[in-house]
Structure 1
Amino acid sequence: MTTSREHFAGAEARTGASDVLLAEAARHGADAEVWTAWHETDELVCRAGTVERRSEVSSGATALTVWAEGNEGYAVRNVPGATDTALVTTALEIGRVLAAEDAAPAPQANRAPHTPPAAPLPRIGADATARLRALAEGTGDLEIELRARADRTRVRLHRAGAGPAEYDTGVAQLFARITARGEGTGYIGHHLFGRTMEGILDDAERTELAELVALARVLASRPATVLDHDDLLVDGRVLSRLLTLVAPAFLLDSVLEGRSPLKDRVGERVASPGVTLLDDPTAAGSPLFIPWDGEGTPTGPTVLVEDGVLRGFLSSRRTAAEAGAPATGSAHRGANGEMPTVHPGHLLLSHTDDLGTEVRPDRTVLHVVQANGAHTSNPITGDFSIGANAVLVSPDGTRRNAGNITLAGNVFELLRSIDGHDGRVRVNRSNNSFVAGPGVWTRSLTVGHQDAV
């Protein structure tokens, strides 16, 4: 069986490159740590049963942090395993330029643990390619485009005075774009994420593609002229995108800088009873396993909201030190080794009440199935207005195209007005942040025909 380490043939994670930088920093009387990442990405685009494009890309970065004279400096090279000692003098100079009145927090004592290699990391091999081609077969009225991507990453953190720590991780991604032609043109797109390409292809083949095709064909029919409905169901595809607007309010740096409306509200009710908001990049359902963050702080579950009550915020080493609290392991770096910033790893909204799917006895349901972009959004106030597609679902399960609609409201009010969920968790990705949630039944949003706005 191929191991994850074989996916990084030629990666110089153990050649002592970081030793060169650490020794140079010590020569200048500075403490230091070196963060290194090697990335490999396979991408494949299939349409109408044929492979249209394939690429394989390797990249990486080296980031150096130094501590000297109470200052913290930082420098990056977009090369993994860099040994250019000019990185040290650059980082020291940046530390002097950015010197603050308060001393920068020193390297933390709980150093990142060395993490055993993961199971074989995702890649798009011959078997996956054949399955993608077969799944992308369309018909006369239907076009299926599948964009598959497999990312593999090795991260290494080497701190002065300690041995290096490493972990391997990866994420598989499939974007399905379905276009149906009927009285009009119906389109729906959907992302699937997982830790193996085989797993997300199984999901696509078993349920997802058939459901997406059915939705696309409904959206290709003549739209209803009125939006009369009794209940509103916001699909997890849409909810997970709306949650990205509320996520900044749960970051400790937003709180300290006065940009979060949740400041000073720990212990207060901020969501409906039954709502829990949990961030955990180590969870089984997290597409991208991260055992420790970009600063080496071990990760794990952080409860932000419990049964509707605010419990805490996500933090980095610096923001936690400023607030006098322990860091939550939420300081993540970009692919190019950028300075760590606080953001979620795998943020999941859940609710205790499962109210079922879109069919309700004696009720007409407006099911918002797809968000098409934000007309306006404000991450501080939470106000938003988005374009969307929806279907009207009769009590007998018959679906009608509701056409292009606008969905407007406030995400903080939405959190306070969730009656229950539909049991179908969906995931949205923003860089290496994953935000997930089920479809939710709510009373708080305003719906209108898009052409009427």
Structure 2
Amino acid sequence: MSDVSVFLTEEAARRGADAEVWESTQEIHELVCREGAVERQSEVTAAATALTVWKDGTEGYAVRMPGRADPALVDTALAVGRALPGGQSPPAAAPAGPAPEEPPAPSGFSTSAAGRLSTLSAGAPGVDVELRARADRTHVLLHRAGSTPRARTTGTVQLQTRVTAKGERVGFMAHQVFGRTVESVVEAADREVASLTGLARILASEPVADCSYADVLVDGRVMVKLFALVAPAFQWDSVLEGRSPLADRVGERVAVAGLELVDDPSSPDCPGPAAWDDEGTPCRRTVLVEDGVLRGFLGSRRTAAASGVPSTGSGRRGPSGEMATVQPGFLALRPGPLLGDGPREGRPLLKVVQANGAHTSNGITGDFSIGANAVLVGGDGTGRNAGNITLAGNVFELLHRIDGHDGHTRVNRGHHSFVASPGVWTSGLTVGR
């Protein structure tokens, strides 16, 4: 228990209010390597305190950066509560329960790790490689008046690889990998640089004149971005606010048979595991879609109560301690059978390897149109540049038209929230060139 949380809860009690204090200290280490050298390094520490108060049927909220014991924070939160419409009763505090064992959080980059990354950034002839590595470690304390305080330390290592190849034209590829340790991410860097270099070189060649193909494989790098567009449809806040087309469809088929959608912050594959969310609710494995059938939604303390169901431990705050909103922990799309990543006999394969930006997209309807790069793979496995293409379709319809996956899971991140998907074989897209 910190002096700040004790002071604020006592100050709130003196004003006749119930209180909950959330404190966070984040340590961020960043490393940028290019042309075989460490271009720059930085270390930043950020702290924030968020206070929620309940009094006379109102709920107020205030944040201070950096956090400190300031009675004005209590007065601000109470004033906010009086200004907001509608009454809010204090929710029951989540039981502390036994604290699960947490993996050690990353603390920064060793000289050895920096050396390996700088060596990889040297690149091959005619290829420019930039590696941006980040290790963050966050300490969180949650103290509800009258309850036992709880604390956790979590962290994630992130590596963004950017590869530019020069040939008949310029080819560019970028991708991010995430892990729990610096060692695991540095180990993956060698594979990522080699893979992206090969693709960038193909994209640096002149596009083929004839782009005829029989099958389409959307790489996980692209699929995870498409799915992230509609991931909010599987949350209770979207249902309550009329933004989810899946409302009232629990028990109905919303995807192809065999597809599963699971949120599991405790999964060994989750780059940032957490035992409990930012409201103190224990995190757990939540099956949202099973064999293509919708089973439920993700909820925070507030949205779950409004829906008459238990919270799924999905209440997460923003980087500055903003009020908790519904967000997944590690939302993984697991579609159908494993089909690999090579062409079927006698059937040229169009591999969509990178999204270049959304021309139009709608997170409520699921409609999208994006620019992308693609590679045409022939029967002998040779890849040729298919040029810049446009992909259009609807993500909800796409979930019904997935034949299988390639076995290579990619991950996208939004603050503490992760979304994962492998590449998918599909006939549910319109491809233009």
The reply to whether TM is greater than 0.5 is yes
Cα deviation 1:256-308 (Å, max 9, x = unaligned): 11111001000000000011001111211011111111111111111111110
**Are 1:43 and 2:27 an aligned pair?**
no
- Secondary structure of 2:88's match? coil
Partner residue of 1:248? 232
Q: Which amino acid aligns with 2:76?
A: T
* Structure 2, unaligned runs of 5 or more: none
Contact persistence 1:276–1:305 (CA under 8 A): yes
Contact persistence 2:221–2:354 (CA under 8 A): yes
Counterpart mapping for 1:193-272 below 5 A: 193-205=178-190, 207-272=191-256
**Are 1:416 and 2:397 an aligned pair?**
no
Residue 126 of structure 1: how far off its partner (Å): 0.9
**Are 1:369 and 2:356 an aligned pair?**
no
Partner residue of 1:52? 39
Partner residue of 1:358? 342
* Structure 1, unaligned runs of 5 or more: 1-13
Provide the TM-score with structure 1 as the length reference. Answer: 0.93
Relative to structure 1, the CA distance from residue 117 to residue 320 in structure 2 (aligned partners, 3 Å threshold; closer, same or farther) is closer
Distance 2:285 2:102 in 1: 21
Partner residue of 2:131? 146
Contact persistence 2:336–2:402 (CA under 8 A): no
Distance 1:115 1:58 in 2: 26
Partner residue of 1:131? 116
Contact persistence 1:373–1:388 (CA under 8 A): yes
Relative to structure 1, the CA distance from residue 315 to residue 120 in structure 2 (aligned partners, 3 Å threshold; closer, same or farther) is closer
Q: Among the aligned pairs, what percent are the same residue?
A: 58
Provide the TM-score with structure 2 as the length reference. Answer: 0.97
The one of 297, 306, 312 equivalent to 2:281 is 297
The one of 182, 187, 190 equivalent to 2:175 is 190
Distance 1:34 1:418 in 2: 45
Computed over aligned residues only, the root mean square deviation of the Cα atoms, in angstroms, reads 1.3
Cα deviation 1:393-426 (Å, max 9, x = unaligned): 0011011000111111000011111110010000
Contact persistence 2:211–2:386 (CA under 8 A): yes
Residue 140 of structure 1: how far off its partner (Å): 3.0
Distance 1:290 1:33 in 2: 19
Relative to structure 1, the CA distance from residue 112 to residue 179 in structure 2 (aligned partners, 3 Å threshold; closer, same or farther) is farther
Partner residue of 1:3? none
The one of 387, 411, 424 equivalent to 1:427 is 411
Relative to structure 1, the CA distance from residue 113 to residue 88 in structure 2 (aligned partners, 3 Å threshold; closer, same or farther) is farther
Q: Which amino acid aligns with 1:334?
A: G
Residue 113 of structure 1: how far off its partner (Å): 5.6
- Secondary structure of 1:298's match? coil
**Are 1:32 and 2:19 an aligned pair?**
yes
Distance 1:441 1:356 in 2: 9
Contact persistence 1:112–1:296 (CA under 8 A): no
The one of 51, 54, 62 equivalent to 1:64 is 51
Distance 1:425 1:342 in 2: 24
Cα deviation 1:32-57 (Å, max 9, x = unaligned): 11100000101111111011121110
Partner residue of 1:314? 298
Partner residue of 1:77? 64
Distance 2:98 2:233 in 1: 30
The one of 115, 123, 145 equivalent to 1:160 is 145
